[in-house]
A and B are shown apart, each in its own frame.
Chain A
Protein backbone atom coordinates (compact mmCIF):
# COMPACT_ATOMS: atom_id res chain seq x y z
CA UNK A 1 0.00 0.00 0.00
CA UNK A 2 2.86 2.35 0.91
CA UNK A 3 4.49 1.67 -2.44
CA UNK A 4 1.23 2.33 -4.21
CA UNK A 5 0.91 5.65 -2.38
CA UNK A 6 4.44 6.54 -3.43
CA UNK A 7 3.77 5.69 -7.03
CA UNK A 8 0.39 7.40 -7.08
CA UNK A 9 0.37 10.21 -4.55
CA UNK A 10 -3.07 11.41 -3.57
CA UNK A 11 -4.25 14.13 -5.91
CA UNK A 12 -4.78 17.50 -4.21
CA UNK A 13 -8.45 17.47 -5.08
CA UNK A 14 -10.77 19.98 -3.40
CA UNK A 15 -12.10 17.16 -1.21
CA UNK A 16 -8.59 16.45 0.08
CA UNK A 17 -8.13 20.14 0.85
CA UNK A 18 -11.49 20.20 2.65
CA UNK A 19 -10.46 17.23 4.78
CA UNK A 20 -7.16 18.79 5.79
CA UNK A 21 -8.71 22.17 6.61
CA UNK A 22 -11.37 20.50 8.73
CA UNK A 23 -8.84 18.44 10.65
CA UNK A 24 -6.82 21.52 11.54
CA UNK A 25 -9.71 23.77 12.51
CA UNK A 26 -11.44 21.07 14.56
CA UNK A 27 -8.23 20.20 16.43
CA UNK A 28 -8.03 23.85 17.53
CA UNK A 29 -11.70 24.14 18.40
CA UNK A 30 -11.78 20.91 20.39
CA UNK A 31 -8.76 22.01 22.40
CA UNK A 32 -10.27 25.37 23.28
CA UNK A 33 -13.66 23.78 24.02
CA UNK A 34 -12.08 21.63 26.73
CA UNK A 35 -10.34 24.61 28.27
CA UNK A 36 -11.58 25.35 31.75
CA UNK A 37 -13.58 28.51 32.31
CA UNK A 38 -10.98 30.19 34.49
CA UNK A 39 -8.43 30.71 31.70
CA UNK A 40 -9.72 34.10 30.53
CA UNK A 41 -9.85 35.39 34.12
CA UNK A 42 -6.37 34.05 34.83
CA UNK A 43 -5.14 35.76 31.69
CA UNK A 44 -6.65 39.07 32.75
CA UNK A 45 -5.22 38.91 36.26
CA UNK A 46 -1.76 38.01 34.96
CA UNK A 47 -2.02 40.95 32.62
CA UNK A 48 -2.82 43.25 35.55
CA UNK A 49 0.12 42.00 37.61
CA UNK A 50 2.67 42.13 34.80
CA UNK A 51 1.29 45.48 33.71
CA UNK A 52 2.35 46.92 37.08
CA UNK A 53 5.98 46.39 36.09
CA UNK A 54 6.14 46.31 32.32
CA UNK A 55 4.14 47.94 29.58
CA UNK A 56 2.05 45.23 28.07
CA UNK A 57 -0.98 44.87 25.83
CA UNK A 58 -3.64 42.24 26.19
CA UNK A 59 -2.62 40.50 22.96
CA UNK A 60 0.90 39.97 24.28
CA UNK A 61 -0.08 37.32 26.77
CA UNK A 62 -1.34 33.87 25.90
CA UNK A 63 -2.58 31.27 28.33
CA UNK A 64 -3.16 27.73 27.16
CA UNK A 65 -3.93 24.46 28.81
CA UNK A 66 -2.50 21.52 26.93
CA UNK A 67 -2.08 17.86 27.51
CA UNK A 68 0.78 15.49 26.88
CA UNK A 69 0.06 11.92 27.84
CA UNK A 70 -0.92 11.88 31.50
CA UNK A 71 0.24 15.38 32.35
CA UNK A 72 -1.56 18.64 31.84
CA UNK A 73 0.55 21.62 31.04
CA UNK A 74 -0.43 25.18 31.76
CA UNK A 75 1.48 27.27 29.26
CA UNK A 76 1.78 31.00 29.72
CA UNK A 77 3.52 33.01 27.03
CA UNK A 78 4.26 36.65 27.65
CA UNK A 79 5.69 38.58 24.80
CA UNK A 80 7.49 41.84 25.40
CA UNK A 81 7.72 44.39 22.58
CA UNK A 82 10.74 43.95 20.33
CA UNK A 83 11.97 47.46 21.17
CA UNK A 84 12.89 46.37 24.69
CA UNK A 85 11.18 46.21 28.00
CA UNK A 86 9.64 49.51 29.01
CA UNK A 87 9.24 49.59 32.74
CA UNK A 88 6.16 51.24 34.09
CA UNK A 89 6.53 53.60 37.08
CA UNK A 90 7.49 51.02 39.66
CA UNK A 91 9.16 48.89 37.04
CA UNK A 92 12.23 46.86 37.82
CA UNK A 93 12.69 45.20 34.47
CA UNK A 94 16.02 44.80 32.71
CA UNK A 95 16.89 45.97 29.23
CA UNK A 96 16.46 42.71 27.42
CA UNK A 97 16.17 43.33 23.70
CA UNK A 98 14.76 39.93 23.01
CA UNK A 99 11.33 38.57 23.50
CA UNK A 100 10.99 37.51 27.07
CA UNK A 101 9.29 34.23 27.63
CA UNK A 102 8.16 32.99 30.96
CA UNK A 103 8.27 29.39 29.83
CA UNK A 104 12.07 29.35 30.29
CA UNK A 105 12.63 28.30 26.72
CA UNK A 106 11.24 24.84 27.27
CA UNK A 107 9.94 23.61 23.98
CA UNK A 108 6.28 23.12 24.70
CA UNK A 109 5.87 19.36 24.60
CA UNK A 110 2.15 19.39 24.81
CA UNK A 111 0.06 18.31 21.96
CA UNK A 112 -3.46 19.29 21.36
CA UNK A 113 -5.86 16.43 22.09
CA UNK A 114 -7.12 15.12 18.81
Chain B
Protein backbone atom coordinates (compact mmCIF):
# COMPACT_ATOMS: atom_id res chain seq x y z
CA UNK B 1 0.00 0.00 0.00
CA UNK B 2 1.28 3.44 -0.85
CA UNK B 3 -0.47 6.24 0.98
CA UNK B 4 -1.11 9.61 -0.61
CA UNK B 5 0.39 12.76 0.87
CA UNK B 6 -1.99 15.74 1.05
CA UNK B 7 -0.72 19.14 2.19
CA UNK B 8 -3.02 21.87 3.51
CA UNK B 9 -1.30 25.15 2.87
CA UNK B 10 -2.15 28.80 2.33
CA UNK B 11 0.78 31.15 2.68
CA UNK B 12 -1.25 33.47 4.87
CA UNK B 13 -1.82 32.63 8.52
CA UNK B 14 -5.14 32.44 10.30
CA UNK B 15 -7.17 31.33 7.28
CA UNK B 16 -8.14 27.95 8.77
CA UNK B 17 -5.36 25.55 7.75
CA UNK B 18 -5.29 23.61 11.01
CA UNK B 19 -9.09 23.60 11.33
CA UNK B 20 -9.29 22.31 7.78
CA UNK B 21 -6.49 19.75 8.18
CA UNK B 22 -8.24 18.36 11.27
CA UNK B 23 -11.60 18.13 9.51
CA UNK B 24 -10.28 16.80 6.21
CA UNK B 25 -8.31 14.10 8.04
CA UNK B 26 -11.26 13.20 10.27
CA UNK B 27 -13.56 13.27 7.24
CA UNK B 28 -11.31 10.80 5.37
CA UNK B 29 -11.22 8.57 8.44
CA UNK B 30 -15.01 8.70 8.78
CA UNK B 31 -15.20 7.34 5.25
CA UNK B 32 -13.11 4.37 6.23
CA UNK B 33 -9.65 5.46 5.11
CA UNK B 34 -6.72 5.00 7.45
CA UNK B 35 -5.52 8.54 7.91
CA UNK B 36 -2.79 10.32 9.85
CA UNK B 37 -2.63 14.07 10.26
CA UNK B 38 0.83 15.61 10.82
CA UNK B 39 1.59 18.99 12.33
CA UNK B 40 4.46 20.66 10.42
CA UNK B 41 4.34 23.88 12.44
CA UNK B 42 7.45 23.23 14.53
CA UNK B 43 7.57 25.45 17.60
CA UNK B 44 3.92 26.45 17.33
CA UNK B 45 2.15 23.18 17.96
CA UNK B 46 -1.62 23.53 17.69
CA UNK B 47 -3.03 20.57 15.82
CA UNK B 48 -3.04 18.58 19.08
CA UNK B 49 -5.37 21.17 20.67
CA UNK B 50 -7.71 21.26 17.67
CA UNK B 51 -7.82 17.44 17.67
CA UNK B 52 -8.31 17.35 21.45
CA UNK B 53 -5.29 15.16 22.25
CA UNK B 54 -2.94 17.75 23.78
CA UNK B 55 -2.60 15.81 27.04
CA UNK B 56 -1.61 12.61 25.29
CA UNK B 57 1.47 13.96 23.50
CA UNK B 58 4.63 12.15 24.60
CA UNK B 59 6.94 12.00 21.59
CA UNK B 60 6.79 14.20 18.51
CA UNK B 61 7.73 14.47 14.84
CA UNK B 62 11.23 15.77 15.57
CA UNK B 63 11.89 12.95 18.08
CA UNK B 64 11.03 10.44 15.36
CA UNK B 65 13.13 12.23 12.71
CA UNK B 66 16.10 12.22 15.07
CA UNK B 67 15.59 8.57 15.94
CA UNK B 68 14.84 9.31 19.62
CA UNK B 69 11.46 7.61 19.35
CA UNK B 70 9.75 5.04 17.18
CA UNK B 71 6.91 6.11 14.92
CA UNK B 72 4.31 4.08 16.81
CA UNK B 73 5.41 5.70 20.08
CA UNK B 74 4.65 9.15 18.71
CA UNK B 75 1.41 8.49 16.84
CA UNK B 76 -1.72 9.26 18.88
CA UNK B 77 -4.80 7.20 18.11
CA UNK B 78 -7.97 9.26 17.92
CA UNK B 79 -10.60 8.31 20.53
CA UNK B 80 -13.55 8.99 18.21
CA UNK B 81 -12.45 7.10 15.11
CA UNK B 82 -10.24 4.03 14.81
CA UNK B 83 -8.92 5.03 11.40
CA UNK B 84 -7.54 8.35 12.59
CA UNK B 85 -4.12 9.10 14.04
CA UNK B 86 -2.51 12.37 15.07
CA UNK B 87 1.21 13.04 14.72
CA UNK B 88 2.10 16.09 16.81
CA UNK B 89 5.06 18.33 16.22
CA UNK B 90 7.67 19.62 18.60
CA UNK B 91 6.83 22.64 20.71
CA UNK B 92 10.41 23.42 21.68
CA UNK B 93 12.85 22.76 18.87
CA UNK B 94 13.60 25.30 16.20
CA UNK B 95 12.03 24.90 12.79
CA UNK B 96 15.27 23.92 11.04
CA UNK B 97 15.10 20.61 12.91
CA UNK B 98 12.74 19.54 10.11
CA UNK B 99 15.35 17.95 7.85
CA UNK B 100 14.11 17.02 4.41
CA UNK B 101 15.67 13.54 4.29
CA UNK B 102 14.36 12.79 7.78
CA UNK B 103 10.87 13.91 6.78
CA UNK B 104 11.06 11.75 3.67
CA UNK B 105 12.03 8.70 5.71
CA UNK B 106 9.12 9.22 8.13
CA UNK B 107 6.61 9.84 5.32
CA UNK B 108 7.77 6.71 3.51
CA UNK B 109 7.21 4.69 6.66
CA UNK B 110 3.74 6.21 7.12
CA UNK B 111 2.84 5.43 3.51
CA UNK B 112 3.14 1.72 4.30
CA UNK B 113 0.32 1.79 6.85
CA UNK B 114 -1.88 4.75 5.95
CA UNK B 115 -4.08 5.55 2.96
CA UNK B 116 -3.79 9.29 3.50
CA UNK B 117 -1.12 11.41 5.16
CA UNK B 118 -2.53 14.87 5.78
CA UNK B 119 0.15 17.53 6.35
CA UNK B 120 -0.82 20.69 8.19
CA UNK B 121 1.61 23.33 6.90
CA UNK B 122 2.76 26.37 8.88
CA UNK B 123 1.98 29.80 7.46
CA UNK B 124 4.55 31.65 5.37
CA UNK B 125 6.90 30.40 2.70
CA UNK B 126 9.86 29.56 4.92
CA UNK B 127 11.54 26.24 5.56
CA UNK B 128 8.63 24.60 7.43
CA UNK B 129 6.05 25.47 4.79
CA UNK B 130 8.35 24.43 1.94
CA UNK B 131 9.12 21.12 3.66
CA UNK B 132 5.42 20.46 4.26
CA UNK B 133 4.61 20.96 0.57
CA UNK B 134 7.71 19.30 -0.88
CA UNK B 135 6.53 15.69 -0.74
CA UNK B 136 2.87 16.36 -1.53
CA UNK B 137 0.88 14.36 -4.07
CA UNK B 138 -2.12 16.66 -3.64
CA UNK B 139 -2.44 20.11 -2.16
CA UNK B 140 -5.49 21.75 -0.64
CA UNK B 141 -5.07 25.52 -0.78
CA UNK B 142 -7.03 27.02 2.10
CA UNK B 143 -8.12 30.50 1.07
CA UNK B 144 -10.36 33.17 2.55
CA UNK B 145 -12.37 35.45 0.26
CA UNK B 146 -10.09 38.37 1.04
CA UNK B 147 -7.38 40.06 -1.05
CA UNK B 148 -4.25 39.16 0.95
CA UNK B 149 -5.28 35.54 1.34
CA UNK B 150 -6.01 35.16 -2.38
CA UNK B 151 -2.69 36.74 -3.32
CA UNK B 152 -0.72 34.49 -0.94
CA UNK B 153 -2.58 31.45 -2.27
CA UNK B 154 -1.51 32.38 -5.78
CA UNK B 155 2.09 32.55 -4.59
CA UNK B 156 1.83 29.14 -2.94
CA UNK B 157 0.31 27.62 -6.10
CA UNK B 158 3.36 28.95 -7.98
CA UNK B 159 5.72 27.40 -5.43
CA UNK B 160 3.97 24.02 -5.65
CA UNK B 161 4.48 24.12 -9.41
CA UNK B 162 8.20 24.87 -9.12
CA UNK B 163 9.56 23.81 -5.73
CA UNK B 164 7.81 20.53 -4.95
CA UNK B 165 9.45 17.14 -5.38
CA UNK B 166 7.05 16.38 -8.22
CA UNK B 167 8.13 19.57 -10.00
CA UNK B 168 11.85 18.97 -9.41
CA UNK B 169 11.71 15.42 -10.75
CA UNK B 170 9.38 16.24 -13.65
CA UNK B 171 6.69 13.92 -12.32
CA UNK B 172 2.97 14.49 -12.71
CA UNK B 173 2.32 17.88 -11.06
CA UNK B 174 0.88 18.14 -7.56
CA UNK B 175 -2.94 18.02 -7.81
CA UNK B 176 -4.00 21.41 -6.47
CA UNK B 177 -7.47 22.08 -5.00
CA UNK B 178 -9.10 25.22 -3.65
CA UNK B 179 -10.86 25.17 -0.30
CA UNK B 180 -12.58 28.48 0.29
CA UNK B 181 -13.07 28.97 4.03
CA UNK B 182 -14.82 31.59 6.17
CA UNK B 183 -17.26 32.36 3.38
CA UNK B 184 -20.11 34.63 4.36
CA UNK B 185 -23.02 34.42 1.89
CA UNK B 186 -24.67 37.41 3.54
CA UNK B 187 -21.64 39.66 2.99
CA UNK B 188 -21.24 38.34 -0.57
CA UNK B 189 -24.88 39.30 -1.22
CA UNK B 190 -24.16 42.83 -0.01
CA UNK B 191 -21.13 43.08 -2.29
CA UNK B 192 -18.73 43.21 0.67
CA UNK B 193 -16.93 39.96 -0.04
CA UNK B 194 -15.38 38.29 -3.09
CA UNK B 195 -17.72 35.65 -4.49
CA UNK B 196 -16.73 32.01 -4.86
CA UNK B 197 -16.71 32.55 -8.64
CA UNK B 198 -14.33 35.51 -8.26
CA UNK B 199 -11.80 33.48 -6.29
CA UNK B 200 -12.15 30.47 -8.58
CA UNK B 201 -11.59 32.63 -11.64
CA UNK B 202 -8.61 34.48 -10.18
CA UNK B 203 -6.77 31.39 -8.90
CA UNK B 204 -8.03 29.11 -11.70
CA UNK B 205 -7.71 25.84 -9.79
CA UNK B 206 -10.54 23.34 -9.21
CA UNK B 207 -12.81 24.07 -6.27
CA UNK B 208 -12.97 21.40 -3.58
CA UNK B 209 -15.43 23.14 -1.31
CA UNK B 210 -16.73 26.26 0.33
CA UNK B 211 -16.81 26.35 4.11
CA UNK B 212 -19.26 28.93 5.41
CA UNK B 213 -18.24 31.20 8.27
CA UNK B 214 -19.83 29.46 11.21
CA UNK B 215 -19.98 29.81 14.97
CA UNK B 216 -19.64 26.06 15.21
CA UNK B 217 -15.96 26.27 14.18
CA UNK B 218 -15.01 28.14 17.35
CA UNK B 219 -17.19 25.85 19.46
CA UNK B 220 -15.41 22.87 17.90
CA UNK B 221 -11.95 24.23 18.60
CA UNK B 222 -12.97 25.13 22.17
CA UNK B 223 -13.72 21.48 22.84
CA UNK B 224 -10.98 19.92 20.70
CA UNK B 225 -13.36 18.25 18.24
CA UNK B 226 -12.82 18.61 14.49
CA UNK B 227 -15.90 20.45 13.25
CA UNK B 228 -16.56 17.68 10.71
CA UNK B 229 -17.84 15.55 13.64
CA UNK B 230 -20.59 18.16 14.20
CA UNK B 231 -23.33 16.89 11.90
CA UNK B 232 -25.58 19.82 12.75
CA UNK B 233 -23.20 22.52 11.66
CA UNK B 234 -23.11 23.87 8.09
CA UNK B 235 -19.29 24.07 8.31
CA UNK B 236 -19.09 20.42 9.37
CA UNK B 237 -21.35 19.33 6.53
CA UNK B 238 -19.40 21.49 4.08
CA UNK B 239 -16.20 19.65 5.13
CA UNK B 240 -17.97 16.32 4.57
CA UNK B 241 -18.85 17.47 1.05
CA UNK B 242 -15.28 18.64 0.39
CA UNK B 243 -13.87 15.28 1.47
CA UNK B 244 -16.41 13.45 -0.72
CA UNK B 245 -15.37 15.59 -3.70
CA UNK B 246 -11.71 14.92 -2.93
CA UNK B 247 -12.50 11.22 -3.18
CA UNK B 248 -14.07 11.79 -6.58
CA UNK B 249 -17.77 12.14 -5.74
CA UNK B 250 -19.92 14.74 -7.44
CA UNK B 251 -21.68 16.96 -4.92
CA UNK B 252 -23.53 20.23 -5.37
CA UNK B 253 -22.16 23.22 -3.50
CA UNK B 254 -24.22 24.09 -0.45
CA UNK B 255 -24.43 27.00 1.97
CA UNK B 256 -23.77 29.66 -0.69
CA UNK B 257 -27.02 31.50 0.00
CA UNK B 258 -27.72 33.56 3.10
CA UNK B 259 -29.46 31.40 5.66
CA UNK B 260 -33.13 32.15 6.16
CA UNK B 261 -33.73 31.99 9.84
CA UNK B 262 -37.23 31.43 11.05
CA UNK B 263 -38.65 33.83 13.57
CA UNK B 264 -38.43 31.27 16.39
CA UNK B 265 -34.89 30.20 15.53
CA UNK B 266 -33.86 33.83 15.42
CA UNK B 267 -35.32 34.23 18.91
CA UNK B 268 -34.15 31.01 20.53
CA UNK B 269 -31.95 29.06 18.14
CA UNK B 270 -28.26 28.64 17.72
CA UNK B 271 -26.55 29.02 14.40
Task: Give A contacts to B, CB under 8 Å.
Answer: 11, 13-16, 18-19, 21-23, 25-26, 29-30, 33
Contact = CB atoms under 8 A, between A and B. Distances in A.
Contact of A18 (B158, B190, B194): B194
Interface residues of B, number: 16
Given A15-B198, A16-B191, A26 B147 contact: no
A26 B191 contact: no
Given A18-B147, A22-B151, A29-B155, A13 B192 contact: yes
Nearest to B190: A13
A19 B194 contact: yes
A23 B202 contact: yes
Contacts of B193: 15
B194 to A, nearest CB: 5
A15 B194 contact: yes
8 contacts: A13-B192, A15-B188, A15-B192, A15-B194, A18-B198, A22-B147, A22-B151, A30-B154
Q: Report which residue of B146, B154, B188 has the largest number of chain A beta carbons within 10 angstroms of its beta carbon.
A: B154
Given A15-B192, A15-B193, A15-B195, A21 B147 contact: yes
A109 B52 CA distance: 58
Interface in B192-219: 192-195, 198, 202
A52 to B, nearest CB: 37
Nearest to B202: A22
The SS class assigned to the A binding surface is helix
Given A11-B191, A15-B195, A26-B154, 17 more contacts: A13-B190, A14-B192, A15-B191, A15-B192, A15-B194, A15-B198, A16-B191, A18-B146, A18-B194, A18-B198, A19-B194, A19-B202, A23-B202, A25-B151, A26-B202, A29-B155, A30-B154
Nearest to B147: A18
What 5 A-B pairs come out closest when comparing CB atoms?
A13-B191, A19-B198, A15-B191, A18-B147, A26-B154
B8 to A, nearest CB: 22
Nearest to B146: A18
Q: Report which residue of A16, A19, A23, A30 has the largest number of chain B beta carbons within 10 angstroms of its beta carbon.
A: A19
A25 to B, nearest CB: 7
A41 to B, nearest CB: 20
Contacts of A15: 188, 191-195, 198
B150 interface: yes
B194 A26 contact: no
A50 B39 CA distance: 53
Contacts of A29: 151, 154-155
Contacts of B151: 22, 25-26, 29
A110 B218 CA distance: 49
A21 B155 CA distance: 16
Nearest to B197: A19
A26 to B, nearest CB: 5
Interface string B127-171: 000000000000000000011001100110010000000000000
Interface string B82-100: 0000000000000000000
A34 to B, nearest CB: 9
Contacts of B202: 19, 22-23, 26
Nearest to B203: A26
B197 to A, nearest CB: 10
A30 B72 CA distance: 43
